[in-house]
Structure 1
Amino acid sequence: MNPPIHPTRRTVVTALAVASTVALPAWPGTAHAADNTVDSPVLDPHPATEPSGTHVRDVGGTNVVFQYGAVLPAFDGWRTHEPTREYLSLDKRWRFRFDPGNKGLGEGWQSPRFDDTSWGRIDVPSAWDLLGTPGFASETAPFGKGTAFTDGYAWYRTTVDIPGSWRARHVRIAFLAAGYSAEVWLDGTYLGKHEGANSPFALPAAKALRPGARQTIAVRVFRRASYTDYTASSPQPVTDDHEIPYKPVDYWPYAGLTRSVWVEAVPPVTVAKLLVSGADGRLEARAVVENHGSSDFEGFLTLDPGPGSRARPTVVEARIAARSAGVVRVSVPVPRAPRWSPAAPHTHTARATLTAAKPGGPRVDTLSTRYGVRDLSVADAQLRLNGKALFLKGLNWHEETGAHGRAMTPGEYDRELGHIKAVGANFIRNCVYNRHPYVYDWADEHGVLVMDDIDTMWLNTAQEKLQTERYGLARALALTMAWNQHNHPSVILWGLQNESEIDPEGAPVYRAWLADMKAAVKAVDLTARPVTWASNTSNDPAFDLADVIGFNEYFGYFYGKDADLGPTLDAVHAKYPGKPILITENGTWSEAGTHGPSTTQGTEEWQAACFTAHWDQVAARSAFVAGFTYWVLKDYKQRAGYNQDHNGISVMGLLTFAEERPKLVHEAFRKAANPRP
Structure 2
Amino acid sequence: MTDRTHPSEQRPPTPGRPSRRAVVTGLGAAGCLALPAWPDRAWAAAGTTATASGGPVLDTHPDTEPSGTHVRSVGGTNVVFQYGAVLPDFDGWRTHEPTREYLSLAKRWRFRFDPRNRGLDQGWESPHLDDSAWGLIDVPAAWDLLDTPGFATETATFGTGTAFTDGYAWYRTTVDVPGSWRARHVRLAFLAAGYSAEVWLDGTHLGKHEGANSPFALPAAKALRPGTRQTIAVRVFRRASHADYTDATPQPVTDDYEIPYKPVDYWPYAGLTRSAWIEAVPKVAIAKLLTAGAKGRLEARAVVENHGTTAFNGYLTLDPGHGSGEGPIAVPARIAAGSVGVVSVSVPVPGAPRWSPGSPHTLTARATLTASRPHGPRVDTLSTVYGMRDVSVAGAQLRLNDKPVFLKGVNWHEETAVHGRAMTRAEYDAELGHIPALGANFIRNCVYNRHPYVYDWADEHGVMVMDDIDTMWLNTAQEKLQTSSYGLARAQALTMAWNQHNHPSVILWGLHNESEIDGDGAPVYRAWLADLKAAVHAVDLTTRPVTWASNTSNDPAFDIADVIGFNEYFGYFYGKDTDLGPALDAVHAKYPAKPILITENGTWSQAGHHGPSTTEGTEEWQAARFADHWTQVAERSDFVAGYTYWVLKDYKERAGYNQDYNGLSLMGMLTFAEERPKLVYEAFRKAANPRGR
TM-score (normalizing by structure 1)? 0.96
Deviation track 1:302-327 (CA, whole Å, cap 9, x = no partner) reads: 00000111111111100101000000
Residues 277-676 of structure 1: matches in 2 within 5 Å?
A: 277-676=292-691
* Residue of structure 1 equivalent to 2:17: none
Query: Are the aligned partners of 2:508 and 2:544 in contact in 1 as well (CA < 8 Å)?
Result: yes
In structure 2, runs of 5+ residues without a counterpart are 1-28
Residue aligning to 1:30 = 41
> What SS does the corresponding residue of 1:615 show, helix, strand or coil?
helix
Contact 2:250 2:656 in 1 (8 A): yes
State the 1:387 CA deviation.
Answer: 1.2
Q: Which of 188, 205, 221 is residue 173 of structure 1 equivalent to?
A: 188
Q: How much has 1:579 moved relative to structure 2?
A: 0.3
**1:354 and 1:364 in contact (8 A); partners too:** yes
In the alignment, the residues of structure 2 paired with residue 576 and residue 164 of structure 1 have an alpha-carbon distance, to the nearest angstrom, of: 62
Q: Which amino acid aligns with 2:381?
A: T
Deviation readout 1:134-167 (Å, 9 max, x if unpaired)? 1111111111110000000000000000000000
Write the distance in 2 (CA, Å) between the matches of 1:33 and 1:615. 52
SS at match of 1:516: helix
3-state DSSP class of the match of 2:521? helix
Matches within 5 A, 1:211-222: 211-222=226-237
Asked if the contact 2:302–2:367 (Cα under 8 Å) also holds between the matched residues in 1, the reply is: yes
Q: Report deviation, 1:498.
A: 0.2
Could you say which residue in structure 2 is the equivalent of 1:85?
A: 100
Structure 1 residues 32 and 375: CA distance shift in structure 2, 3 A: closer
Deviation at 1:231, TM superposition (A): 1.0
Q: Is the 8 A contact 1:175 1:259 kept in 2?
A: yes
- 1:113 is aligned, of 118, 124, 128, to 128
Q: Name the counterpart of 1:233.
A: 248
CA displacement at 1:38 relative to structure 2: 3.3
Among 175, 189, 196, the alignment partner of 1:160 is: 175
> Structure 1 residues 255 and 328, CA, compared in 2 at 3 Å: closer, same or farther?
same
Distance in 2, matches of 1:676 and 1:32, equals 52
Q: Find the counterpart in structure 1 of residue 5 from structure 2.
A: none
CA distance in 2 between counterparts of 1:498 and 1:263 reads 34
Cα deviation for residue 34 of structure 1 reads 11
- Report the aligned-residue RMSD: 1.3
CA offsets, 1:40-92, max 9 Å, x none? 76100000000000000000000000000000000000000000000000100
Instruction: Identify if the C-alpha distance between structure 1 residues 380 and 267 changes in structure 2 by more than 3 Å, giving closer, same or farther.
Output: same
Counterparts of 1:372 and 1:254, CA distance in 2? 33
Output the amino acid matched with 1:358: R
* Post-superposition offset of 1:29: 3.3
For 1:659 and 1:247, the matched residues in 2 are separated by 30
Residues 525-547 of structure 1: CA deviation (Å, up to 9, x unaligned): 00110000000000000000000
Look up the SS of the partner of 2:58 in the other structure.
Answer: coil
CA distance in 1, matches of 2:192, 2:324: 33
Q: Aligned in 2, Cα 1:350/1:632: closer, same or farther, shift over 3 Å?
A: same
Tell me the matched-pair count: 660
Q: Is the 8 A contact 1:299 1:318 kept in 2?
A: yes
2:112 is aligned with what amino acid? R
Whether contact under 8 Å (1:19, 1:59) holds in the other structure is no
Distance of aligned partners of 1:563 and 1:128 in 2 relative to their CA distance in 1, 3 Å threshold: same
Q: SS in structure 2 opposite 1:482?
A: helix
Matched, 1:131 2:146: yes
Q: CA deviation at 1:36?
A: 13
Aligned counterpart for 1:21 among listed residues 21, 27, 32:
32
One-letter code of the match for 2:35?
L
- Unaligned runs of 5+ residues in structure 1 are 1-17
**In the alignment, which residue of structure 1 is the partner of 2:9?**
none
Post-superposition offset of 1:472: 0.1
* Shift in Å, 1:375: 1.3
Offset of 1:30 from its aligned partner?
A: 3.3
The superposition leaves residues 476-521 of structure 1 with CA deviations (integer Å, 9 ceiling, x where unpaired) of 0000000000000000000000000022400000001001100000
The Cα of 1:392 is off from its aligned counterpart by: 0.1
Cα separation, 2, equivalents of 1:639 and 1:29: 38
Is 1:248 the equivalent of 2:259?
Answer: no
Q: Secondary structure at the match of 1:46?
A: coil
Aligned to 2:15: none
Asked whether the equivalents of residues 47 and 60 of structure 2 are also in contact (C-alpha less than 8 Å), the reply is: no
